[in-house]
Structure 1
Amino acid sequence: MSATRVFVARLAGCTVFDPAGDRLGKVRDVLVVYRKSDPPRVVGLIVEIPGRRRVFVSIGRVTSISSGQIITTGLINVRRFEQRGGEVRVIAELLGRTVVFTDGSGQATIEDVAIEEFGPGEWAVAQLFVRRPKTSSSPFAKGATVFANWSDVREKTAVGQAQSAEQLIATYSDLKPADLANTLLDLPQARMLEVAEELPDDRLADVLEEMPESEQVEILSQLDDDRAADVLDQMQPDDAADLIAQLSEERGEHLLELMQPEEADDVRMLLAYAPDTAGGLMTTEPIIVSADATVAEGLALIRRHELAPALGAAICVTLPPYEPPTGRFLGMVHFQRMLRYPPHERLGTILDQGLEPVTADTSAAVVSRILASYNLVSVPVVDDNHRLVGVVTIDDVLDYLLPDDWRSNDSDDDAPDRVPNRTPTRAQSGAPRLMNRGRRTTNGTS
């Protein structure tokens, strides 16, 4: 091995290669099993391969662990990972747990776990990196950190006490929303809900947008109404509308009343459209400017960090007002076209004259053909008075066209990873779906 001791939190996101140097995937967690007296033994890695599928890689097939990369024998089972009884995921389940020192010196929280090789293909937990409670009342103070052997501590498992989710959230802070959503879906249900509770509103909103509808409803049902409304405020209006449409009419209306008025108005407008139309798929937050805006101003707007790439691909030009429904729609300017003109050029002079908007009642099938035929990533949507009401982006259309269960990456030929007759995961269990506003069912019908 290139290393005999590594910290698990640093392995998260490391690339896994085969002996030929081809990329297999990324490490998402380390799997251990407890033993009666010895420290927990490492049984393998949970690796995310293309398609967001999580697979199990036995630690015996890992030939090298070095800075930022892991090399395996190349022989891995690509069947979906399912956790066995007695197995513990270090990042998802062990980090953040409270332990008590056996010498009576108090308790601490596990922030990282060091694993060490003690024989060819044999790894075990070597030490714990733990943080003691802070001793100062200052909000900026932190408790002292120490290294502890496994034998020096015991886990504190008070009945009804939830594990801290803070360390897990910190470990996954760099994950993209889609990857974090997939990670949460792999957690035990109680742990998933606990982590969701601890996520900031904007981060949780991004994660919910990447989850299957059933898990969205499950998480939202665990939040109090005020928190749920705050999270919905942070979501894209079309995603918030899809989620509210799955709730009971009473709770959906109550949450709309608690949301910011402008956000609630956008969601109500989207809920009024049929799910298989441009109005049912569109987002109401495109970039909208006047014809007098310059190329420099337009480029500054699409540079915003929080802007989705599909929305940043083009700018809509309208007459005032500049909030949907706007004044008369004049046209769009694609960002590549802006790059061909000087910064002082007015956007009204470089409109794409060949792009016709669609109306809100245009079918999703027609919108799909327009995007495909003209190699577009977005198409504007106007009302009967030619006022801009939103844009349909390519990700909205893909979300509509793909089967309902595409986010779970399950297929009929998925089989348990290491032993037969496993209990299916939540994504495989076929839980009943609630009302579906803007998605197609798996047989391709609305």
Structure 2
Amino acid sequence: MATMTRVFVARLAGLSVFDPLGDRVGRVRDVVLAFPATRRRPRVLGLVVEVAGRRRVFVPITRVTNMDAGQVVTTGLVNMRRFEQRPTETLALAEVLDRGVQVQEAGQEAYEATVEDILMEPERGREWAVTKVYVRKGVPSQGGGLRRITGRRGETRLVDVADVTGLHLSASGQGAARLLESYDDSRPADLAEVIHELTPQRRVEVATSLDDDKLADVMEELPADDQIEILASLDVERAADVLEAMEPDDAADLLSELPQDRQEELLQLMEPGEAAPLRRLLTYDDESAGGLMTTEPIILGPEATIAEALATVRQEDVAPALATVVCVCRPPLETPTGRYLGIVHIQRLLREPPHSPVGSILDKELEPLDPEDTLGTVTRVLANYNQVCMPVVDADGHLLGAVSVDDVLDHILPEDWREERHEESDEVIRG
């Protein structure tokens, strides 16, 4: 225990966790605290560790034998039951850092501050407690940054936890910079899971701290109730901007959950070119090819070369499923297009000379979907022809969009599939 005397919580974020044999178990994502009414110092219950499969599990602090600048070492096996926060527990990174508090040091005037970090130290046995709080004078203002209270702007202090009031009390306007820093390397779906598990107030605070593009990516991965909750918390102009940044089919699905007058208000604030595809999507049944499709497939003219097509599908912002096919059409090359000619599969692109035109290698035998085709029909077509993406064409031969397998899975899985948790028989004991 000699090497484990003082640990700042923020420095644990992302550290690798190893078992006694030196095998990597996962990485630290948060620290679980409890604020007992009978004592001044918050207890450290354990660590939230992300293991293989992006599963977050709980490791009791009594099973941690070493924590230093580079790693965390535990004793024995890690219980793989998924971590679920209890009402009496507080997450240090997710809920405490960036929180506004009151500080009253002995012999000094009280001041408001923002929590930058917290220091934990071992007590008896292998138990730990929060002993100090690293604060920055000033509290977050509505426009971001700090509102000056006293002393030099942004002055920092390491104060005793007993001198801090409001450490475990949620307050409006709390920032989320520290939490988001610890998830910089996460995919939108993983960050969405973290946000979903927060309290409603904290969920909104964290989500709205993201920039528009990142928030749009995360919104696409959240359950509908969370999407509506977050969208309602935004001012109407920003809500319209986020909808513009979302994939058209996801944005249309979200709009369809809103009252008609709210839909129209947001559509009116969007750029006409961004609103028009959403208006078209909203005219289709949710479980039809038209309702499932995105209006932004990859589209090229027949004279485009193989090299151009490959450069297009390699673009980072193109979804993997959409990148499997190139739709070839007469101009204009935006949906709804001129006459649809056929598709080219990415594997065929890889086998042809780079200078050849895509119009010379069209697959014309694969019949496109009709916008009125049902979900069942779409699913059978994808399965029968081993496709992950299919074009949607109207009766006049205009390309309207494309349906990808991820759009179909979203509709054939149970409505609460994003919220399902694997249940294991083992119990996690912490308290």
TM-score range, shorter chain: 0.7 to 0.9
1:147 and 1:160 map into 2 onto residues whose CA distance is: 21
2:377 and 2:154 map into 1 onto residues whose CA distance is: 61
Q: CA RMSD in A?
A: 3.4
| Alignment of 1:42 onto 2:44 | yes
When residues 317 and 193 of structure 1 are mapped into structure 2, their CA distance, relative to the original with a 3 A threshold, is: same
Kindly state the Cα deviation for residue 65 of structure 1 after the two structures are TM-superposed: 4.3
Deviations 1:362-394 (A, max 9, x none): 222222223233332211111112221111111
| Paired position in structure 2 for 1:150 | 160
| Paired position in structure 2 for 1:210 | 221
Higher deviation after alignment, 356-365 or 41-50: 41-50
Query: For 1:247, which of 258, 261, 264 is the aligned residue?
Result: 258
Report the number of matched residues.
415
Kindly state the Cα deviation for residue 115 of structure 1 after the two structures are TM-superposed: 3.6
Aligned amino acid, residue 274 of structure 2? E
2:31 and 2:412 map into 1 onto residues whose CA distance is: 35
| Paired position in structure 1 for 2:129 | 124
Kindly state the Cα deviation for residue 397 of structure 1 after the two structures are TM-superposed: 1.0
When residues 281 and 13 of structure 1 are mapped into structure 2, their CA distance, relative to the original with a 3 A threshold, is: farther
* Preserved CA contact (<8 Å) 1:65 1:71: no
When residues 312 and 65 of structure 1 are mapped into structure 2, their CA distance, relative to the original with a 3 A threshold, is: farther
Kindly state the Cα deviation for residue 274 of structure 1 after the two structures are TM-superposed: 1.5
| Paired position in structure 1 for 2:411 | 400
Deviations 1:315-363 (A, max 9, x none): 2211111011111222222333323334323222233345332111222
* Preserved CA contact (<8 Å) 2:81 2:423: no
| Alignment of 1:356 onto 2:367 | yes
| Paired position in structure 2 for 1:318 | 329
| Alignment of 1:386 onto 2:397 | yes
Give the 5 Å matches for 1:88-127: 88-99=90-101, 100=103, 102=105, 103-104=108-109, 107-117=112-122, 121-125=126-130, 127=132
Deviations 1:18-55 (A, max 9, x none): 55777655533110123666643210122345666544
Which sections of structure 1, spanning at least 5 residues, go unmatched? 421-446
| Paired position in structure 1 for 2:236 | 225
| Alignment of 1:78 onto 2:86 | no
Kindly state the Cα deviation for residue 114 of structure 1 after the two structures are TM-superposed: 4.1
* Preserved CA contact (<8 Å) 1:6 1:115: yes
* Preserved CA contact (<8 Å) 2:81 2:424: no
1:68 and 1:382 map into 2 onto residues whose CA distance is: 55
1:383 and 1:330 map into 2 onto residues whose CA distance is: 13
* Preserved CA contact (<8 Å) 1:381 1:392: yes
* Preserved CA contact (<8 Å) 2:371 2:393: yes
SS in 1 for 2:33: strand
Normalising by structure 2, what TM-score?
0.83
* Preserved CA contact (<8 Å) 2:176 2:209: yes
1:399 and 1:22 map into 2 onto residues whose CA distance is: 36
Higher deviation after alignment, 114-123 or 398-407: 114-123
2:44 and 2:212 map into 1 onto residues whose CA distance is: 35
Normalising by structure 1, what TM-score?
0.81
Deviations 1:90-109 (A, max 9, x none): 01111102343624495542
| Paired position in structure 1 for 2:149 | none
Relative contact order (C-alpha < 8 Å, sep 6+): which is higher? 1
1:391 and 1:414 map into 2 onto residues whose CA distance is: 43
1:339 and 1:152 map into 2 onto residues whose CA distance is: 66
SS in 2 for 1:193: helix
* Preserved CA contact (<8 Å) 1:82 1:417: no
* Preserved CA contact (<8 Å) 1:109 1:131: yes
Quote the sequence identity (%): 46
* Preserved CA contact (<8 Å) 1:127 1:147: no
Which sections of structure 2, spanning at least 5 residues, go unmatched? 147-151
| Alignment of 1:163 onto 2:163 | no
Kindly state the Cα deviation for residue 14 of structure 1 after the two structures are TM-superposed: 4.5
1:342 and 1:145 map into 2 onto residues whose CA distance is: 63
Aligned amino acid, residue 177 of structure 1? P
When residues 25 and 376 of structure 1 are mapped into structure 2, their CA distance, relative to the original with a 3 A threshold, is: farther
